[in-house]
């Protein structure tokens, strides 16, 4: 029973990972090409604002869609077929927007199609890019899945019917902060913003570990949303800034792949710790990984200055 429960926690967490869109699967399906397109058509000096706005709008859709689906299911007496037909409408609008509203920049050089993961292409990805990949993976290890926020809310006595509102609250805060922090990343040090993001995540982990009272849980969830708003658009911008123009799709693909693997590993380990050592240990371990990440970033900055 114990093992079954821990794997249920891990499986539930993986179902929500990463970035609330089954991130690993969606990253390969369209997140990576979408981010490459954003980087391609946005002037470098406002990439942070562009990725922040993209993240904000993506998050709005992530919680408005389920809320609309829930409302329609109640209105139409659980007629899920009709709800799925309604869901086709925004999908078609997105396709039409891509076909008629998005203009990719003109490419004056003719490029023969090549294998994007060939050795020659991978060697074009700079050490600075691979550092961003490592940082993104470490951030994911420290954060694990948002499903554990839902489990903590249940422990805190929030009724099952209201538990989904915890994720709605986090996404509202995430959506509200992603664009301002993305715009801020265009004018200040990226390292400084990463440190802010880690500091906020440490605070969120400590609050969530300290007590499972609903007030603590909601405060921790709010801090978690702020952390996401600070870091997710910033990391996308850092990928775009360190990748060669002709390999943006490959760069985002590898970044999302490594983050997805880190999310799977983090969620499995978090589920096991939750079962064996208790919920608090899961969040304390996340805070510890954040502290380790801060130490590694400090060491790297010191090395670069030497």
**pLDDT per position as a tens digit, 83-119:** 889 888 888 888 888 788 777 666 645 555 566 666 7
Cα 101 off chain centre by = 26
Mean pLDDT of 26-42: 73
Rounded mean pLDDT of 67-84?
80
**Residue in the structure block whose two tokens are 């948002």:** 146
Query: How far apart are the C-alpha atoms of 173 and 39, rounded to whole Å?
Result: 25
**Distance between CA 87 and CA 250 in Å, rounded?**
30
Tell me if 142 sits within 8 A of 286, measured CB to CB. Answer: yes
pLDDT value of position 225: 92
More confident residue, 258 or 61: 258
Q: What is the pLDDT of residue 161?
A: 65
Q: What is the pLDDT of residue 238?
A: 92
Give SS3 for 74: helix
What does the pLDDT read at residue 117? Answer: 64
Specify the DSSP element, H or E, that contains 266. helix 248-277
Is residue 141 within 8 Å of 262, Cβ to Cβ?
Answer: yes
Q: Which of 19-33, 85-99, 223-237, 279-293 has the lowest mean pLDDT?
A: 19-33
- Please state, as a whole number, how many other Cβ atoms lie within 10 Å of the Cβ of residue 82: 14
Predicted TM-score of the model (pTM) = 0.78
User: Residue 238 is encoded by which pair of tokens?
Assistant: 């850092």
Tokens of 294: 């801060």
- The pLDDT confidence band at residue 11, using thresholds 50, 70 and 90, is very low
Q: What is the pLDDT of residue 283?
A: 92
Number of Cβ within a 10 Å radius of residue 192? 11
Provide the pLDDT for residue 229: 92
| pLDDT of res. 30 | 62
pLDDT in tens, 216-272: 888 999 999 999 999 988 999 999 999 887 788 888 888 988 888 998 898 888 888
At 300, the pLDDT band (50, 70, 90 cuts) reads confident
Per-residue pLDDT at 181: 94
Which residues have C-beta within 8 Å of that of residue 43, sequence separation ≥ 6? none
Helix and strand counts by DSSP (H, E) for the chain: 13, 0
DSSP at 43? -
pLDDT of residue 96: 87
Binned at pLDDT 50, 70 and 90, residue 20 comes out as: very low
Contact (CB, 8 A) for 28 and 126: no
Cβ(274)–Cβ(14) below 8 Å: no
Write the pLDDT tens digit of every residue in 151-203.
Answer: 888 887 777 767 777 888 888 899 999 999 999 999 888 889 999 999 999 99
**pLDDT at 143 > cutoff 70:** yes
Which residues neighbour 145 within 8 Å (Cβ) at sequence distance 6 or greater?
12, 13, 14, 16, 17, 18, 263, 266, 267, 270
């Amino acid at each position: 029973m114990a093992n079954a429960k821990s794997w249920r926690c891990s499986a539930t967490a993986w179902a929500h990972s990463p970035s609330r869109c089954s991130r690993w699967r969606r990253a390969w399906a369209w997140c990576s090409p979408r981010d490459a397109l954003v980087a391609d058509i946005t002037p470098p000096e406002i990439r942070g604002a562009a990725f922040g706005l993209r993240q904000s709008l993506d998050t709005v859709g992530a919680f408005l869609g389920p809320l609309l689906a829930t409302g329609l299911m109640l209105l139409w007496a659980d007629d899920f077929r009709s709800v799925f037909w309604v869901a086709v409408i925004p999908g078609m609008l997105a396709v039409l927007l891509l076909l008629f509203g998005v203009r990719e920049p003109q490419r004056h050089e003719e490029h023969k199609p090549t294998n994007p993961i060939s050795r020659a292409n991978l060697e074009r990805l700079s050490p600075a890019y691979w550092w961003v990949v490592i940082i993104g993976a470490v951030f994911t290890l420290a954060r694990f899945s948002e499903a554990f926020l839902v489990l903590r809310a249940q422990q805190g006595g929030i009724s099952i019917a209201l538990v989904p509102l915890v994720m709605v609250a986090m996404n509202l805060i995430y959506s509200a902060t992603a664009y301002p922090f993305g715009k801020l990343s265009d004018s200040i040090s990226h390292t400084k913003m990463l440190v802010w993001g880690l500091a906020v995540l440490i605070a969120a982990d400590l609050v969530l570990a300290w007590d499972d009272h609903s007030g603590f849980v909601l405060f921790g969830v709010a801090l978690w949303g702020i952390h996401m708003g600070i870091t997710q658009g910033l990391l996308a911008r850092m990928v775009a800034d360190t990748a060669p123009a002709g390999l943006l799709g490959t760069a985002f693909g590898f970044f999302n792949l490594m983050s997805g693997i880190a999310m799977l590993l983090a969620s499995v380990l978090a589920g096991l710790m939750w079962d064996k050592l208790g919920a608090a240990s899961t969040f304390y371990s996340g805070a510890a990984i954040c502290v380790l990440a801060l130490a590694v970033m400090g060491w790297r900055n010191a090395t670069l200055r030497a």
